[in-house]
Amino acid sequence: MTSPMRWLAPVALLLACGNDHGAPKPDSNGAVDWSQPQTYAFGPYMLQPEQEITTDCVQITLQNDSDIYINEVDFDAMGPGFHHSNWFWVPESTFPGPNWNGTNSAQDDGTFNCNDRHFDQGVAGLFGGVLFAQSTQAQQESQQFPPGYAVKIPARSKLVSTIHLLNPGDNAITVTPSITLKPIPQSQLVKQLAGISFENHALALPPNMQSSFTVTCDMLGADQTPPQDWPTPTFKVYYALAHYHALGTGLTIEAIKPDTTSTTVYSTVNGIGDSLGAPIAPPFDFTGYTKLRVTCDYYNSTASTVVWGNGSEEMCVFLAFSDSGYNFAGGVPIDTNAGTGTLVDNVMTFTHNCDTLVANPVN
């Protein structure tokens, strides 16, 4: 679909991820005191009216000589214009991804064109791990786990994030976002958390009506094609976050037992601009369930069919954190035809096959 907005050519972006913007000051050996929270400010990003930028990434070298355990991430967009961002940790010494042509030096921290360095979120999730995702247009957001629960970032890692900038207004704006990582000592660690991330690219929102898109994903390794050897799910889910755009009205995650009975794991309650993520309390115990069902709901008020994409197009993504020993991912990860919908109570409903993938064991 062609965006109705007139996207202007990107203006120059400046990023400083160093002492001038309040980033941690390393000691004489180049290390940072990771017994304390660390804040990284980046930008400024200057956006002209109706300008959108979807091709940039950010790199931040953490300068951590030992493993760190992140219990909380706080994000501050410092105003409208910072539409969305996905944050991954990756090894500092060997950046994952084919044809990676960036260097591993902190001197290369800052904003770069994702394609220039061949950054790929899927590869980053496989060779590193997901840390945080910003809700659509949320200007401030906190992702906090229960005391003693944390995402491990191995020694000598860096953060890399895809960023989506969007200024739908009539005036130029400038934003200087920041991200704060709050660690806990390893001695306080109760459980190490792993990521669960599924997305559905098979979207085709019919014009001027409500629609619903569902994928049901098998979480048993033995049921995969070919069969896999990961263990039967017995994990608990502690946090979940949804991502969709302005036409989205909700996302629901359900766990399904072999007898087809289902239980809601998480469902959104806020609208766009507020946090679409929340702790799950008490944690959801996946023991006894074998499938995960993800449903995204929309109301398309336009006269055109809306498909997967940025800007005025749509997305259907969720991120969660569990105490599984594995990172799960899948859904419909590439742009695919949505198929034929079925009208149910004036809602056009679509279903699609789901692929389930498991990354290397968490250690």
Confidence bin at 27 (pLDDT 50/70/90): low
According to DSSP, the residues that pair with 299 across neighbouring strands are 210
How confident is the model at residue 101, as a pLDDT? 46
Contacts of 202 (CB under 8 A, 6+ apart): 213, 215, 308, 332, 335, 336, 337, 338, 339, 350, 352
How confident is the model at residue 24, as a pLDDT? 62
Cα–Cα nearest to 88, from 118, 114, 63, 122? 122
Q: How many CB atoms lie within 10 A of CB 100?
A: 16
The CATH 2.60.120.230 domain(s) of the chain lie at 193-361
Enter the tokens of residue 52: 């959108």
Class of domain 193-361: mainly beta
- Per-residue pLDDT tens over the stretch 123-142: 787 778 889 988 777 778 88
Q: What is the mean pLDDT of the chain?
A: 83
pTM: 0.84
The DSSP 8-state label assigned to residue 308 in this structure reads B
- Per-residue pLDDT tens over the stretch 260-300: 999 999 998 766 655 677 899 999 999 999 999 999 999 99
Cα–Cα nearest to 120, from 105, 137, 98, 104? 98
The CATH 2.60.120.310 domain(s) of the chain lie at 19-191
How confident is the model at residue 259, as a pLDDT? 96
Checking if the pLDDT of 301 tops 60, the result is yes
Contacts of 143 (CB under 8 A, 6+ apart): 72, 73, 74, 75, 132, 239, 241, 277
One CATH from 3.90.1150.10, 3.40.109.10, 1.25.40.10, 2.60.120.310 for 19-191: 2.60.120.310
Using alpha carbons only, give the angle 145, 146, 151 rounded to the nearest 5 degrees: 45
Cα–Cα nearest to 297, from 201, 199, 205? 205
For residue 74, count CB atoms less than 10 angstroms from its CB and return exposed for 0-12, middle for 13-18, buried for 19 or more.
Answer: middle
- Per-residue pLDDT tens over the stretch 44-61: 889 999 888 888 999 999
End-to-end CA distance of the chain: 43
